[in-house]
Each structure stands twice: as C-alpha cells, then as structure tokens.
Amino acid sequence: MKNYLDCINDYKKEDLKEAASIIKNGGLVLFPTETVYGIGADGLNEKAVKNIFLAKARAQDNPLILHVSDIEMIKKLVKNINSIENKLIKEFFPGPLTIIFEKKNIVPNIITGGLNTVAIRMPSNKIAHDLIELSSTPIAAPSANISGKPSGTNIDDIFDELNGKVDYIINGGNTKIGVESTVVRVIDNNIHILRPGKITYDDLKRIANVIVDEHVLNDVKESQKVLSPGMKYKHYAPNTKCILIYSDDKNKLIDKINEYYNDNTLVIATNKIANMYKNKICLGNTLEDISHNIFKALRQADKENKELIIIEGVKPTGLGLAIMNRLIRACSHNYIEI
C-alpha cells in the first residue's frame, strides 16, 4: 500500500505530515493509540466523519470519541469544565480515560449521536499525539475494526479487514493496553463509569465518589440512547458462537468447561486452565496479560473453525471489570457464573 508508514522501530514527527495532511483534507487514517488502533478523521468535518461510519458499517447513534492533543483543544469543544473534571484531566490526561462533557456547537451532531454531550480523550501514545498536533484538529476515532468485531490491537489483525477502506495506515506495533479507554461522566459530583477500562474504579475514587453504570455488565435495550461508545449492539465478537464461564472455584470452573468441551470446541483461558485442553488459546497469567491479548485471541479463534468457543471469565473488579465488560458482549451475554 502506498500510504503506509511503519513506526515500529523509530520515526520522526515530520514522518506523520502526510497522514496529517490526509486528516486535514477529509480522509481516513488508521493509527495506533495506547489502548487499541483507531480509524481517524477530522472530528469537525461532518463529511469526513460520515466516512468513518461507512468504513466500519457503524450505527450512527453510536457516539464517537474526539481525540485531542492539549487542554486548549478541549476548551474549544466543551462549554465548561467543572472542578472534578479538572481533577480527572490533571490526574489521567494524557492516558486511557475518556470524559463526557457538554459540547459546544462547533462539535457536529454526527459525533455525538444527537446528544448534547461529547466524549473526549487525550491519548498518551506518541504517534497518536503527534498526529493530532500536526493535524491541528481533534480527531474522531472509534476502534479499528468492522463494527461488532474485536477491536484491532496490531496491524496484522486488521490490515485485510480495513485496507482499501482508509486512506493511510500507520503501523505502530502492538498496542500497550489492549482494551479501549475507560469512559466516565461527572453527574452531581459523582463519577459515573459508562465503560470500564485500564483506569479503574479504585483509581477514580481517589478523585470523587464513583458509580458503575448498570449497563456495564448488562445489555442496553435497542430503543435506548447510549451515552458512550461500546454500550450498545453486539460488540467485540468473533463469528463463532461463544460462551463465557466464570467461577472463583477453579474445580467448578473446569467441571463446567468439561460439560461443553469436545473436539469441535476451543478454550480461551489463562495459561493454567487452557493448557489442560488440546484446542486452546492461552491468555497469559495476569489481568494485564488478558487485557493485552483478549482481542487478538478472539480474532485468532475464528481461524480455528470450531463450533463453539469457551472463554474463562475473571473476577469483575479492577481491570477485570473492563475485561468482563468486553467478554460478556463478545459472547452476546451468553454467560454462566457458578
């Protein structure tokens, strides 16, 4: 592909000028962040943003996140920043946190799903930061995948899926975190977690009282408006049918897996559990390992051509809440807790 930049080993900021020019001129750029890869467009150009929805086959009532490079860019987009939001910015920006603010009219309605709020994030990934800065505009960027499929955490997994649907591809290697950002909204001085991520409940409660939205581990009705990306529709899912099983009793977990396991079944699990089975994908040993590997594992699972994928769940606390949020949706809420 002509418009392809490999930044895995090293790059200079000026190497991104061509990609930034494409953003400025209404094109689409696939680029890395510290969470997952994104499909980016000029967030203030409605026509360009429409092309994101077309490339991803994404429903237009599913809001997008605007990625910014500095606080001045945020101030141009939002009506006000309250004291708790200020504290969140100082503590977690740049990084894997998205804050929902009341928007100014400069933000196109297509970004917000028709809401009067806008989701904003300042990525810490240097490539993403430099691209936004050179583009001189906030970049609207959902995860790099066809809607409903697992998010992209490296170019190899998503190149064939998205090549020809974007104008420029930046290869930044494997993403550091592997799940999308935590999304929060401050309401009545409480921090509401709408989508969990690397920034956890315990991290946020240092700033203010924290409330986890009821839909984090539950479904959203088709008729409901969503305040955050990732809350609605089938999401993060391979084509193969999946079942998610969790127990803090490993013997009960193994017994339940064995009820479903056969030669046409694949197990995705932590190393100790996965290695008990012939057909397996190992996720590692820690929550950080699982977070980093889960989307790649879900993509690999489809290539195994099995009839069923059995996935080991984790305790839904800390980073585990983000992992379970993604896995429950990947399994279309086909979830067993013992």
C-alpha distances (whole Å) from 268 to each of 73, 152, 215 are 41, 18, 25
- Is there a single domain that holds both residue 140 and residue 252? no
The DSSP letter of residue 230 is: T
pLDDT, average across residues 254-271: 98
The two three-digit tokens of residue 209, written as one number: 């009282």
- Is there a single domain that holds both residue 186 and residue 256? no
pLDDT, average across residues 299-310: 95
Domain total in the chain? 2
Q: Above 60 in pLDDT, residue 243?
A: yes
Residue 234 lies in a domain: no
Residue 31 lies in a domain: yes
Give the separation between CA 127 and CA 173, rounded to whole angstroms.
Answer: 11
- Is there a single domain that holds both residue 260 and residue 173? no
Averaged pLDDT of the chain: 94
DSSP codes, 47-93: HHHHHHHHHHT--TTS--EEE-SSHHHHHHHBS---HHHHHHHHHH-
Residue 219 lies in a domain: no
- Is there a single domain that holds both residue 197 and residue 246? no
- Is there a single domain that holds both residue 293 and residue 190? no
Read off the pLDDT band of 124 (50, 70, 90).
Answer: very high
Give the separation between CA 292 and CA 287, rounded to whole angstroms.
Answer: 8
Lowest mean pLDDT: which of 93-107, 146-160, 232-246?
232-246
- Is there a single domain that holds both residue 166 and residue 20? yes
For 80-99, letters b (16+ CB in 10 Å) and e give ebeebbeebbeebbbbbbbb
Q: Above 70 in pLDDT, residue 137?
A: yes
Residues with Cβ within 8 Å of residue 47, at least 6 apart in sequence: 26
What does DSSP say about strands 265-269 and 280-282: parallel, antiparallel, or unpaired? parallel
Q: Above 70 in pLDDT, residue 293?
A: yes
Residue 163 lies in a domain: yes
Residue 237 lies in a domain: no
Give the separation between CA 196 and CA 200, rounded to whole angstroms.
Answer: 7
What does DSSP say about strands 38-42 and 29-31: parallel, antiparallel, or unpaired? antiparallel
pLDDT, average across residues 161-182: 97
Task: Return the beta strands (E) in the chain as ranges.
Answer: 4-6, 29-31, 38-42, 65-67, 97-102, 117-121, 139-140, 168-171, 182-187, 190-195, 210-212, 242-246, 265-269, 280-282, 308-312, 335-337
Q: Above 90 in pLDDT, residue 223?
A: no
Residue 225 lies in a domain: no
Domain closes at, from 168, 194, 212:
212
Provide the residue range defining the domain that includes 290: 242-337
Q: Above 70 in pLDDT, residue 227?
A: no
- Is there a single domain that holds both residue 258 and residue 203? no
The answer to whether the peptide bond before residue 96 is cis (omega within 30 degrees of 0) is no
Which H helix or E strand runs over 131? helix 126-135
pLDDT, average across residues 269-278: 98
- Is there a single domain that holds both residue 124 and residue 28? yes
Residue 226 lies in a domain: no
- For residue range 25-37, list pLDDT tens digits in order: 999 999 999 999 9
- Of the candidates 332, 148, 331, 313, which has an alpha carbon nearest to the alpha carbon of residue 229? 148
Residue 53 lies in a domain: yes
Q: Contact 295/177 with Cβ under 8 angstroms? A: no
- For residue range 60-104, list pLDDT tens digits in order: 888 999 999 999 999 999 999 999 999 999 999 999 999 999 999
Q: Contact 19/110 with Cβ under 8 angstroms? A: no
Query: In the chain, count of helices (H) and strands (E)?
Result: 12, 16
Q: Contact 199/92 with Cβ under 8 angstroms? A: yes
pLDDT of residue 231: 55
- Is there a single domain that holds both residue 133 and residue 256? no
- Is there a single domain that holds both residue 204 and residue 268? no
Q: Above 70 in pLDDT, residue 232?
A: no
Q: Above 90 in pLDDT, residue 148?
A: no
pLDDT of residue 213: 95
Q: In the chain, pLDDT over 70 holds for what percent of residues?
A: 95
| Neighbour count for residue 166 (Cβ, 10 Å) | 22
Read off the pLDDT band of 236 (50, 70, 90).
Answer: confident
pLDDT of residue 1: 54
- Of the candidates 39, 29, 35, which has an alpha carbon nearest to the alpha carbon of residue 174? 35
pLDDT of residue 59: 87
CATH code assigned at 127: 3.90.870.10
- Is there a single domain that holds both residue 259 and residue 207? no
CATH code assigned at 275: 3.40.50.11030
- Is there a single domain that holds both residue 251 and residue 301? yes
